């Protein structure tokens, strides 16, 4: 009996390796049909950091919670080179990044930091941003067709009914 279980595990691991090698994400499903775990899409790397998409889309808080469950945070961008790497690897938006503004900070530019409390040492705001347009624009977003420019938007994104994925940065 244990040989059969070992064979099944071996076949599962082989299939997971094939899926990862071909760029597919997958889910591991128990015999009863319940999902046991998700295997994310392959991660990219830049200067020793690993990056991958969140599996789900949602508002900033939902996507950051998923990033934490995956063992990281939404990406903290520390340089123009890293920003360019993200654009080349994940596209020119729209997607969530780990930028968040501390509640009750001076508007529009005060109190910005990265998820996980990392300090903000580099910025790439799109021209005219941040602007706190809605009065609640406390979350960072990589704008579509902006060549890597950032925007401040409300927790739901812009427009407010939007749902986006995020880029997760995993520790070394």
Positive/negative CA dihedral, 96, 66, 89, 161: negative
Which regions in the chain score pLDDT beneath 50? 1, 3, 13-24, 26, 28, 36-37, 39
Give the pLDDT of residue 26: 47
* Fold adopted by 42-170: Mannose-Binding Protein A; Chain A (3.10.100)
- Give the pLDDT score at 9: 54
Q: How far apart are CA 109 and CA 130, in angstroms?
A: 6
C-beta separation of 51 from 89 below 8 A: yes
Confidence at residue 36, expressed as pLDDT on a 0 to 100 scale:
45
Residues whose CB falls within 8 Å of the CB of residue 86, separated by 6 or more in sequence, listed in order: 51, 75, 77, 97, 142, 148, 167
At 172 the pLDDT is 75
pLDDT at 74: 97
User: What's the CA angle centered on 118, arms 70 and 146, to 5 degrees?
Assistant: 80
pLDDT digits (tens, 9 = 90+) for 116-165: 988 999 999 999 999 999 999 999 999 999 999 999 999 888 777 678 99
Predicted local distance difference test score (pLDDT) of residue 157:
81
Domain ranges of the chain: 1-39, 42-170
Q: Output the six-digit token pair for 172.
A: 């070394």
């Amino acid at each position: 009996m244990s040989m059969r279980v070992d064979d099944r595990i071996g076949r599962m691991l082989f299939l997971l390796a094939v899926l990862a090698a071909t760029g597919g994400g997958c889910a591991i499903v128990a015999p009863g049909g319940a999902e046991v775990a998700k295997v994310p899409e392959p991660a990219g790397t830049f200067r020793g950091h690993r990056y991958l998409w969140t599996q789900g889309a949602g508002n900033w808080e939902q996507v950051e919670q998923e990033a934490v469950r995956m063992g990281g945070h939404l990406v903290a961008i520390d340089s123009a080179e890293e920003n360019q790497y993200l654009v080349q690897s994940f596209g020119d938006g729209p997607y969530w990044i780990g930028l968040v503004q501390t509640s009750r900070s001076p508007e529009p530019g005060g109190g910005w930091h990265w998820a996980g409390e990392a300090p903000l040492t580099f910025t790439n705001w799109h021209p005219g941003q941040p602007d706190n347009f809605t009065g609640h624009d406390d979350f960072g977003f990589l704008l579509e067709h902006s060549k890597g420019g950032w925007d401040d938007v409300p927790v739901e994104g812009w427009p407010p009914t939007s749902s986006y994925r995020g880029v997760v940065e995993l520790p070394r």
